[in-house]
Chain A
Amino acid sequence: MIKIKDIEKSFGEKVVLKGITSTFHRGKTNLIIGRSGAGKTVLLKILVGLFQPNKGEVWYDDQSFFQLSKKEARQLRMKIGMLFQGGALFDSWNVEENIRFPLDMYTEMSYTEKRERVKEVLKKVELTGVENKYPSELSGGMQKRVGIARAIVLNPQYLFCDEPNSGLDPKTAIVIDQLILDITQQYDITTVINTHDMNSVMEIGDNILLLKDGCVAWQGNKDEILTSEDPTIIEFIFASPFLKRLRKKALGL
């Protein structure tokens, strides 16, 4: 479980986050949604320690992230996996080398054991036989899956995904969503996803945090969205006239 308390962040004069407090649950897919510039990526980067907040706390279970010693922070980071928007794979390394990197850095496994582990995670993301390919030889969806494989290779307890479906066709996006959901449930990990994709919200949104103007505008789950009367979430999710009509029809309004 991850708890954030009163997170504030500004860049110069521009205030991006204004006192965000929330909880991201274990074994659930926790989604951060909001319009562009709402502060989603900044919040995600604060969660993983890439940005330091001006104020507030981030708790990983019973550990306050920003008060950890260097050694403790390093140990905690080994439990964190992150999927970046573009995959963030080394271009000059092949798939196996990319996935093996965290194992090389943090484990004392033998080369054979590492290769076995790489094969295992590639099987998990349904991408066997691509070990020797380079990122440039893979499609966007495949690169994302390699990114997921690298993120889970150390058996993380916390998984972060920054816009995992951006640039993907709807069918591949569903495959990626399902994969993240499976991993979250199978390994019982805390997953936090920053997304724009409304399909993802309605498919895997166990816990949804809507940010607006740097504040939490709404929090709930995918089922609550359909029945919610809150105009902020309704306007955001059912933004197009078509979806508005569809919602009214579904609710018999």
Chain B
Amino acid sequence: MINTIAYKLFYQLGQWVLWMRQVFSKPEKINVYWRETIRQMNDLGVGSLPVVFIISIFFGAVTTVQFYYQISGTFVPNYYIGYIVRDMTIIELAPTFTCMLLAGKVGSNIAAEIGGMRQKEIIDAMDVMGVNTAAFLVLPRLIAAVFMIPLLVILAAAISILGGYFASVWGNLFTVSEFIQGLHSFFIPYNVFIMLVKAFTFAFLLTTISAYQGYFVKSGSIELGKASTNAVVLSDVAILVADYIIALVMT
């Protein structure tokens, strides 16, 4: 049993490494790849804006309300809430939760789209034409993701802090100046760097894992569903493991 699981794991890992070599081989025609990258940036980045906006504003709002509940009536000053919301958002909530959310939205979409192409013989058609399908299908998505997802994460952080602001002001929990004082307190720019490293790493992981699941899908709608689910689950697990490693290494 353990042997079989270990064999499967190493087989998949080996296949992934070999496939990544194919993905990073020289593109046949730069302008065709570039056109596809722009298209993916729009689908993946601009297309994810509404959901990132909604989730982030509530992250910030809920975090603020919860912390106010925790520290009200204690000796901890209220402005600490702004400080905690800011740092939690930058270090953890914005990169990790936004990318886990995008694993669900973008990752499952990538797996289903590429898997559908495999099942409808579109990948075979491109193989017959001599196109490096791994590179053509994955590289534009990967470039789009590692460029757009950090931008989405920055935006998510800003919106989340704004959500905290609205919750505190509109909820009459404490004053605006207390919240803003908190935002200005103990700021460490290095934390923003950690956030970007996380966003970049998670973008790479969720795109390649999802594309891999779709690229090697077997025939049938059940397999396509499995590939889509695996893309989300494995991307989320990989994001959490990477999150832990980055936290250990960088903090």
Contacts and interface: CB of A to CB of B under 8 A. Distances in A.
B131 A49 contact: no
Interface size class of A (residues with CB under 8 A): 20 to 34
B124 A74 contact: no
Interface string A41-79: 000010011100000000000000000000001100110
B21 interface: no
Interface string B109-120: 000000011001
A233 interface: no
Contacts, number: 46
A101 B130 CA distance: 12
Contact of B128 (A50, A86, A91, A105): A50
Contact of A105 (B32, B116, B121, B125): B32
Nearest to B129: A102
A187 interface: no
A88 interface: yes
A104 interface: yes
A82 interface: yes
30 contacts: A45-B124, A48-B128, A49-B128, A50-B124, A50-B127, A73-B130, A74-B130, A77-B128, A80-B128, A80-B129, A82-B128, A84-B121, A84-B124, A84-B125, A85-B121, A86-B120, A86-B121, A88-B120, A88-B121, A88-B124, A88-B125, A101-B129, A104-B31, A105-B28, A105-B29, A105-B129, A105-B131, A106-B129, A106-B130, A160-B128
Given A82-B128, A160-B128, 4 more contacts: A77-B130, A78-B130, A84-B124, A105-B131
Interface of B: 28-29, 31-32, 116-117, 120-122, 124-125, 127-131
Interface of A: 45, 48-50, 73-74, 77-78, 80, 82, 84-86, 88-91, 101-102, 104-106, 160
